[in-house]
Structure 1
Amino acid sequence: MAKNEVKVLVACGSGVATSTIAQEEVKRIAQEAGVPVRIMKGTIAEVPAKQADVDLVLTTANYRKPLDKPHMSVFGLVSGVGKAKVSAQLAELLKKILAE
């Protein structure tokens, strides 16, 4: 059964700065991909607890611990390095999760 939206956690070190920038980019990418999203923000430290409430975890910092949910680094959306590639990968991932 397909979902009607994808719940996304955007996490950065502080839960404020880079996750806010990334959140706006994620909204734009999701809109362009035609995928409704609900975005929550948090800190890297909150990821293990908050992943239970979301379909996808996006981080702006390196995150190496195993997760139960799909995870992707979106640092490129903040830094601009490889932004097009990160945007395309994220759009595909969002579409895949929505269809599950």
Structure 2
Amino acid sequence: MKEYHILIACGSGIATSTVIANRVKNLCEDNGFKVKVQQVKIVEVEKMASEFDLIVASTRVPETVTTPSVFAINYLTGIKPEAVDEQILKVLRDLGE
């Protein structure tokens, strides 16, 4: 089984990314995906993106990054977090094809 590497990013790389990382890890494992997550500051994303399959961030990812990304502010606001769940699962399914 392929292990997907997911980069979780927020402003500081600590607080909100921990909330997002836990949700993403549980979501993926509950849906049969083996994942490894790493938390970083958003300013680190550009230099690290190519090493990851997916970026999930609480802020906008730089436009120069070509790795698939999902904007996950809904996890923090609580407004339709399942929409973000579906986006993440779709990316992983598409990568597996």
TM (normalized to structure 1)?
0.88
For structure 1, which runs of at least 5 residues remain unmatched after alignment? none
Q: Secondary structure at the match of 1:69?
A: coil
Shift of 1:82: 1.6
- Flag the structure with more relative contact order, 1 or 2, with Cα contacts below 8 A and sequence separation at least 6: 1
State the 4+ residue runs in structure 1 displaced beyond 6 angstroms.
none
Corresponding residue for residue 4 of structure 1: 2
Report what 1:23 is aligned to: 21
Residue-pair matches, total: 97
The normalised TM-score by structure 2 is: 0.90
| Aligned counterparts of 1:40 and 1:64: Cα–Cα separation in 2 | 18
Q: CA RMSD in A?
A: 1.4
| Letter in structure 2 aligned against 1:91 | L
Unaligned runs of 5+ in 2: none
Q: How far apart in 1 are the matches of 2:46 and 2:23? A: 23
Q: Once the two structures are aligned, what percentage of the paired residues are identical?
A: 27
Are residues 1:70 and 2:68 paired? yes
